[in-house]
Structure 1
Amino acid sequence: MGRGRIEIKKIENVNSRQVTFSKRRNGLMKKAKELSILCDAEVALIIFSSTGKIYDFSSGCMEQILNRYGYSASTTEHKQREQQLLLCSSQDNGAVLRKDDTMKSELQRLQLAIERLKGKELEGMSFSDLISLENQLNDSLHSVKDQKTKLLLNQVERSRAQEKRA
C-alpha cells in the first residue's frame, strides 16, 4: 500500500517543520549525488534553511560549476548577492523579488541614461529634458577639456625639466 499524498503548504509546527526539512534535505542531497553518479552530470546544490544555515552539495568543484553556469563565486556581485540571500532567507521571498525588480528597473533607467548621454534613445524626451541633457554634456565636455589641458601642461613641464637636465 502506498503512502497518502500530503497537501503542500507550510507546516505550522516548528518541530515538525524542522524534521520534515531535515528528511527532505537529505533526500534531495541523495538524489543530487545519484544524478551525478548515474548520469555523469555536474551537479551543484545549495540550500538555505529558514534558520539561515547553508547546506550544499557538488559533484565537482562548486566554484567551477558556478562559473560554468555563468555565476562566478569569486566576484563581488556574487558575494553581495550571497549576503543578501543570507539576510533575506528567513524573510518573505516576495520582498527579495520586489528588491530584484527594483534593481532591474534601476539598471534599465541607468542604461537609458547612458544611451542618452551617447546621443541615442532621445525620442520621447521633453524640450526641458533635452536642454538639461545638453547642459550635462557641456559640463562633461568642459571637465574633459580641463583634464586634457592639465595633462598636456604636465607633459610640457616634464619635457622642459628633462631638457634642463640634459
Structure 2
Amino acid sequence: MVRGKVVMKRIENAANRLVTFSKRRNGLLKKAFELSVLCDIEVAVVIFSQKGRLYEFSSSDMQHAIERYFMYIKEIPTHKPEMKQLTQHSRIETENMVKKIEYLEVSKRKLLGQGLGSCSLEELQEIDSQLEQSLKNIRARKVQLYKEQIQQLKAKERMLLEENVKLYEKWCDGGKLWQQPLTQQRKVVNDCTQNNRCSEIETELFIGLPQKD
C-alpha cells in the first residue's frame, strides 16, 4: 500500500504527535549511527522533546563534538557584511520556496476536488477552466494516439497484402498485380482465396472408394 504524502505542519492530535515523535526520533538516531559507520565521520544529534526530555547520539564523545562545533563557528567570519547578506538571501529564498510548495500543494488538492469549501466563485470558475483545458489536452493526445495506431494498422495491412499478392503471383500467375489499386488487389486476392477453397471442397467430395454400379 502506497503511503500518502505527509503535510508538513504541526500534528494537532496529542496522541498521534507523540507516536510520530517516537518513531521519527528513533529513525533519526538510527540514520545518524548508520551515517557515522558507513562514511567514517563524526556525527552528533541532540533532541529535546516537547516536555524537555533529552535524547542524544554521538559517534564519539558528545562534549568533544559540542566543543568542536563552537570552535568551528568561531572561525567563520559571520560578522562580515557579505556573509550576513548571503545568509539573509538564503533565508529569504528558503521561505519563498516553502510558500511556493504550500501554494502548489493547495492548488493540487483543489484540482482533485479537495478543500473547495473556502473557494470563492471566481476561484471555482478558474479551477473549472483549468480542468477544461486539461481535458482538451488529454483528448487531443488521445486522438493523436488513435491516428498513429490507425496508420500503423494500415501500414501492416499494406505489408500483409503485398505478401499475399506475391504469393498470388507465384501460384496463380497474376502478373503485376501490385501495380493495381489497393481495392483491386484485395478483390483479386479474395477471389483467388475463394477459388482455392472451392477447389479444395470439390476435391474432397471425390476422395474415397469408387461406388459400385
TM bucket, shorter chain:
0.3 to 0.5
Larger of the two Rg values belongs to structure: 2
- TM-score normalized by the length of structure 2: 0.37
Considering Cα pairs closer than 8 Å and 6+ residues apart, tell me whether 1 or 2 has the greater RCO: 1
TM-score normalised per structure 1:
0.47
